[in-house]
Amino acid sequence: MSVEERPILGISMGDPGGIGPEVTAKALEQREIYGICRPLVVGDARVMEEVLRFTGLPLKLHAVERPGDGLYQHGTMDILHMATMDPTRLRYKQVTAEQGQASYEYVAAVIDCALRGEIDGTVTGPINKAAINAAGHHYAGHTEIYADLTHTRDYAMMLVDGDFRVVHVSTHVSLKAACERVKKDRIIRVIDLTYEVLKKLGISSPRIGVAGLNPHCGEGGMFGDEDEKEIRPAVEHAAKSGKKVEGPIPSDTVFPKMKGGTYDAVVVMYHDQGHIPVKLMGFQYDQKTGVWGAVAGVNVTLGLPIVRTSVDHGTAFGKAGEGRANPQSMIEAIRMAALLSRKS
């Protein structure tokens, strides 16, 4: 792939006190990344200098004022430098309003670059919700920040681990509110968004399963009527438009079927219904050692006017500043963003 064909990806490095800067640096130490994209870190060069010190990574920093100034060569980390906080006040493992403000500004900057067409896609490192709220930015997470700053109303979260993909009808709301949001029109829109992204990923004839809300999909109304009144009509509407879509299907059936290759993605009704199976597939934890092994998975926001992918984990304050964070999810997020942002 020529230099011009490789998309420029802006990578916001996340909360300075978490593992975001570290997994970003470790991902960019991989030569393969420069074969698929031109990565530009958006954050504070002084924070990243500290990361390179305690990890010992053999990278040079190249601070730039705009994306077009990047060198985009393996061994050199291009960074859109933002002097957002006093580095002497950096506090690993802690929630602080100052670090929350910095992480918010990194996200806002990467979105602005994408909206102005200076970069082709965005990748986000983990932020801490308590920290950004302490800084006065009252959002439930990255997805809501992106929706607000891009003026997007219809959007959805997709989690990916290899060929295992789930897309959510609702995410960061209470379980009671999630049930109230299971409506025909919203489900139709999420099915459409799912179909569109699967086509963009190169799947010519996407197959979509739609999970039910209630146990046994309501068992004929004994356990709730949302499956028959809202979900089934939405699936039938999508099927009439030519999409290969089935549902509602009980959750304990639809995920094994996707794992077995029946579906390319599953539309789920609420946060945990989708997050638990994806993280069961992609995360590995050893209770004896207390160590996380694989931390795989990518978060993709559908429906935005710009490409946005993210790691599928949090700031992991418990290991921040120690050099032992696993960059696997960040590497996969960059790969996904490069695929979705490709120019040819």
For 106-159, give the DSSP string. HHHHHHHHHHTTSSSEEEE----HHHHHHTT---SSHHHHHHHHTT--S-EEEE
Residue 280 has pLDDT above 70, yes or no: yes
Provide the token pair at 54: 């305690």
Residue 62 has pLDDT above 60, yes or no: yes
Percent of the chain topping pLDDT 70: 94
Residue 65 has pLDDT above 90, yes or no: yes
pLDDT, residue 182, reads: 97
Give the position of tokens 């996969």. Answer: 332
User: In the chain, what are the domain boundaries?
Assistant: 8-152+304-341, 156-278
Region label for 303, one of left (φ > 0), alpha (ψ between -120 and 50) or beta (otherwise): left
Helix (H) or strand (E) holding 198: helix 184-200
Question: Of the candidates 143, 129, 142, 166, which has an alpha carbon nearest to the alpha carbon of residue 272?
Answer: 166
Homologous superfamily of the 156-278 domain (CATH): Isopropylmalate Dehydrogenase (3.40.718.10)
Query: Under DSSP, is residue 206 helix (H, G, I), strand (E, B) or coil?
Result: coil
Amino acid identity at 175? L
Q: What is the mean pLDDT of residues 49-63?
A: 95
Cα–Cα distance between 287 and 50 in angstroms, integer? Answer: 31
Decide: pTM greater than 0.85: yes
Instruction: Inform me whether the pLDDT recorded for 286 exceeds 70.
Output: no
Instruction: For 236-267, write each residue's pLDDT tens digit.
Output: 999 999 999 999 999 999 999 999 999 999 99
**Is the per-residue pLDDT at 292 higher than 60?**
no
CB atoms within 10 A of CB 12: 30
Q: In this model, does residue 344 exceed pLDDT 50?
A: no
Task: Look at strands 291-295 and 283-286 and give their pairing.
Answer: antiparallel
pLDDT in tens, 298-308: 899 999 999 99
CB 335 within 8 A of CB 9: no
Confidence of residue 297 (pLDDT cuts 50, 70, 90): confident
Least confident of 128-142, 172-186, 242-256, 315-329: 315-329
**Closest to 38 in 3D by CA, of 82, 14, 63, 2:** 2
Would you call the peptide bond into 248 cis, given omega within 30 degrees of 0 as the criterion?
A: yes
Equal CATH topology for 8-152+304-341 and 156-278: yes
Q: Does domain 8-152+304-341 have CATH number 3.40.718.10?
A: yes
- Residue 2 has a pLDDT of 66
CA nearest neighbour of 306 among 150, 125, 156: 150
